[in-house]
Amino acid sequence: MDTTPLIMRWISLLLVMGFVGIFASSAIAGDDSWAVYGGDAAGTRHSQADQITPENISQLQLAWTYHTGEVERRGMANILNSSTQNTPILVAGSLIICTPFNRVVALDPVSGQEKWVFDAEVELSLTMPFYHNCRGVVQWRDDQADQGAHCALRIILPTNDARLIAIDGLSGKLCDGFGDKGSVHIPQVVMPLWPGELKLSSAPVVLNGVIVTGSIIMDNFRADAPRGTVFAFDVRTGEPKWQFDPIPRDPSDPAAKTWLDGSVENTGAANVWSTMVVDEERDLVFLPTSSASPDFWGGERPGDNLYASSLVVLKGSTGEIVWHHQQVHHDIWDYDISSPPVLVDIERDGETIPAVVQNTKQGFVFVYHRETGEPLYPIEEKPVPQNGMPGEWLAKTQPFPIEGLQLLSTHLTPEDAWGFSFLDRAGCKDLIASLSNEGMFTPPTTGNGALFAQGNSGGANWGGPSYDPDRRLMLVNINNVPQVITLIPREDVGEIDGINMNEDGVVTEQRGTPYGASTQWLLSPFGAPCVEPPWGELVAVDLDAGKVRWRVPLGSLEHYLPVPFEWNLGTPNIGGPITTAGGVTFIGAAIDQYFRAYSTDTGEELWRFKMPAGQSTTPMTYQIDGRQYVVMVTGHHLYFGAEVGDSVVAFALPESR
């Protein structure tokens, strides 16, 4: 009897279950793995897994479901003060997830069975809007340690109480040799006023033995917010390596001259709250920075404010600035650079050019040479409105990419008003006419307020794009829901303790300035956006040609209608897409809770599945023993009011017998 097939099946089973450590580690090191938050270090969110195709995706079915137990464990009050935004990674035969409360769970990627759990035991005293969140973790392998040794493979967890924690990737036990018994506390110059004003939520990045992390800082509470310093540590020991403050405190820094009247002393934020990417071969780390504090008033920080609202590229080994480009000068619109950069190769005139692509909230796509920062498509500085409030400082121009890389309208007029009925449209038309309105760079004002053609949740957000290198396409989901920003004189702000959220919008204090700020969506009397749909889209961009290949609405209103039927007007969305070699793009993100698959070539919707809870996350995929799995983490989202849940859901084609 030939026992070879039986032996091979046993070996395959051992590989799948993760019992052969060295082989399991090798199995995920190839193109069919998802070993990093963004799929790979370049942040492409693309997989070479190709079993699932447009031809067979109709057979896609649930493979397994795992519940983290956080709903029961934490209680509804804490769950409602959290956002589930995690993308798992595949580590040595285990699927690693983190919950909003910094609980790390290792699952068998084939069965969904729990292997081990680590709880960072963060405080549950964070109050709205200082919510609990964990977007992802990062792994690192110590090539100087023996295979299978404790913490030779480690997972670095960012926490809501501003720590980096190193745990063993095989057991979930702390790595005592990292920092103080496994933890590094992020140092602060300007101390947070309460737990959660500054926290870590996005996955750090690692290159050449250095771990780099940004932070999230409470938006728009005070001008003198905590500093948005990016920190780098030795990934083996936790010893500090370097730090970079996007606000140039050193007068000798060339960027300091873009901060007038000593304004750097009373300004904070400009932090990197989204996800960074790295080019380890070139020793480069790419930082998307946010606006300086506060968001909607810049009178206390005159000047263009470099390196805020910029793409900044540093040497990973030293923190030295290599190049930078500011996407928004003197940002008073909360146009943070929130979308992660993505590293791609551009084909032009027979030449392959290393590039970095940066999407923005305005719906702009900027493309640069990865090594020099030279724009690969022209960027024009265009004049922008200058009618700010007394005491405000305004940049005279703002950078615009070529028209083919502007994914959304830059201006909205009363004639553009939209509504479900004549009365609805008339209400929108009157509302738009009543607002200060000169395009997406209209300065905030008092009175009726200013219309932002793309609000601070518009365009591309933290979910980021995916890039299919075979089809030469970048896929990115965008929002198209304008906002109204109104400055509130200090004497009228009242007692709001930092922020007040209700059904009408958000009021923030902007302490240390003459004004608070109110943020509201531009909605019709019937509660719909006043702009023509789609309000959410999935867009495919040909980066070699610098133009849109296709675009489709993302999301349906059927569950908001008296008589449910599929009405694909697109909905607000948050999360991101992934692409696969099989020609399928997967995305959740839309508020209708449908997980969808599209043809990467054409944008045709191929499949959808109603998820058990909110899906404000980015999925991931992997292929083990010839079977491809697609995984989505579901749960509540603080601002979308998504259905509560705590499930991790995996899909696959039916097992072949």
* Catalytic residue annotation: 334
Sequence-separated (6 or more) residues with CB below 8 Å from residue 654 = 59, 61
Is the peptide bond preceding residue 654 cis, with omega within 30 degrees of 0? no
CB contact at 8 A, 364 and 338: no
On the CB side of 462, CA atoms within 13 Å amount to: 22
- Between the CA of residue 645 and those of 78, 510, 565, 636, 639, what are the distances in Å? 13, 34, 25, 6, 15
Which has the closest alpha carbon to 136: 118, 113, 159, 114?
Answer: 159
End-to-end CA distance of the chain: 22
CB contact at 8 A, 284 and 313: yes
Please state the φ and ψ torsions of residue 608, each to the nearest 5 degrees.
-155, 155
- Residue 650: strand, helix, or coil: strand
Sequence-separated (6 or more) residues with CB below 8 Å from residue 20 = 11, 14
Sign of CA dihedral 455, 458, 464, 465: negative
CB contact at 8 A, 612 and 632: no
Sequence-separated (6 or more) residues with CB below 8 Å from residue 657 = none
Sign of CA dihedral 525, 531, 532, 537: negative
DSSP state of 254: G
Tokens found for residue 307: 């390196």
Tokens found for residue 593: 């809770």
Q: Which helix (H) or strand (E) holds 145?
A: none
Tokens found for residue 584: 């399928």
Which has the closest alpha carbon to 102: 155, 66, 140, 151?
Answer: 155
Give ∠ CA 287-636-501 in degrees, rounded to 5: 80
The count of other CB atoms within 10 Å of the CB of residue 469 is 14
Tokens found for residue 283: 């020793």
Tokens found for residue 540: 């495919």
- Between the CA of residue 504 and those of 19, 183, 518, 535, what are the distances in Å? 54, 41, 9, 19
